[in-house]
Amino acid sequence: MSYRKSEKSDDAYRKEERWNCDRCHTAKTITKEVPIPTEKAMLVKLLMSLCEKYELKGTTITVGLGEVRAVFRFPEHDLPKLRAIAENWSDRGYITAKDLLKLEKAGMRDVAKIPPKWAPSKRELKAEAMRNHFG
């Protein structure tokens, strides 16, 4: 990967990625013109990525003239813990009363109601596909 100053604009740079396939011996070059991000833009991007990394119910990001405000909403129940209880139940074939009460309180006695873990972002999937194909 190489970065060069853009010839078209002073506020951007050119990003060049080179991929070489070991199997078919083909080379692929992806070139993009990327604007130089401001500190505010980098902060907003970081805040937006938190929703993907953590199981948040939702986020609201407000960008003002001299400020950035973020509100994070959490789910009512600890979903990873509920998923772990459901997996233990299916592995063992039984469930403890304490764990059953946790599922009851969450309204998820039927484990099919527990939402699945969030899928990776499109960017992560694309990078993984490129790594798998080009080695």
Q: Which residue has the higher pLDDT, 115 or 66?
A: 66
Q: What is the mean pLDDT of the chain?
A: 80
The pair of structure tokens assigned to 104 is: 């009851």
**Residue 117: predicted pLDDT:** 65
**Residue 89: pLDDT over 70:** yes
**Confidence band for 71, pLDDT divided at 50, 70 and 90:** very high
**Residue in the block written with tokens 């199997």:** 23
Amino acid at 9: S
DSSP 112: G
Question: Where are the alpha helices (H) located in 20-134, listed in sequence order?
Answer: 39-53, 79-92, 97-105, 122-134
Model confidence, pTM = 0.46
In this predicted model, what pLDDT tens digit does every residue of 14-61 receive, in sequence order? 888 888 888 888 888 888 888 888 888 888 888 888 877 777 778 888
CA–CA–CA angle 54, 103, 94 (5° rounding): 115
Which of 30-44, 78-92, 97-111 is predicted most confidently?
30-44
**Residue 120: pLDDT over 80:** no
**Residue 87: predicted pLDDT:** 81
| Cβ contact 87:111 at 8 Å | no
| Cβ contact 82:100 at 8 Å | no
